[in-house]
Amino acid sequence: MNRTSIFIILIFVSFATSNPTPLKRQDQLNGFTQCKGSFANSITLLSYTPNPVVTGQNVTSHLAGTATEIIKQGTTIVYTAYFKDEPTKEAFQHKQDFCEVYVKQSGSECPVKKGDYSFTASWLVEKHPDEPKNLVVEYYFNISVFDSDGKTLSCINGPTKISYS
């Protein structure tokens, strides 16, 4: 090989290795972020299928995080949806018994001890007669977990699409 060939190979190698593309970290919260403030328990993973959520069908949600406060009987999870273009206008709200829906369906019981947790739950997304048809709407959601005294244990915000069939 001549000097020119070696020089071209060295330049190519230096470009190929000088600026590696960083690996893209998967978004464990699917576009959601922790709410402002501090909360005893964190949510570090949220996934759901189908995505978008479809009215009249079951949705399966996987929720994981770390609890520094015990999750007791009477804990609730509240999903509050806001219109994306009007972030202060509430579209709807759905409240569930956290222990009944998430903990029991995952084969555990409340109280849930301090430490890491991972729960999966499924439920039917109700279909109402007055809802739109053949439309996908993106909402801005606040998902909060409350203890039986109303103290917020966890809180995340983010976008979710709902398909009205």
- Going from N- to C-terminal start, the domains of the chain cover 26-164
Which uninterrupted H or E stretch holds 109?
Answer: none
Whole-model pTM?
A: 0.80
Task: Report whether 49 contacts 125 (CB < 8 A).
Answer: no
The pLDDT of residue 14: 37
Task: Report whether 125 contacts 54 (CB < 8 A).
Answer: yes
The pLDDT of residue 10: 33
Ranges 74-78, 127-131, 143-147: which has the least confidence:
127-131
For residue 141, with 0-12 CB atoms within 10 Å meaning exposed, 13-18 middle and 19 or more buried, which class applies? buried
For 41-80, the pLDDT digits (tens) are 999 999 999 999 999 999 999 999 999 999 999 999 999 9
* CATH numeric code, 26-164: 2.60.40.770
If we measure between CA atoms, which residue out of 98, 96, 89 comes closest to residue 139? 89
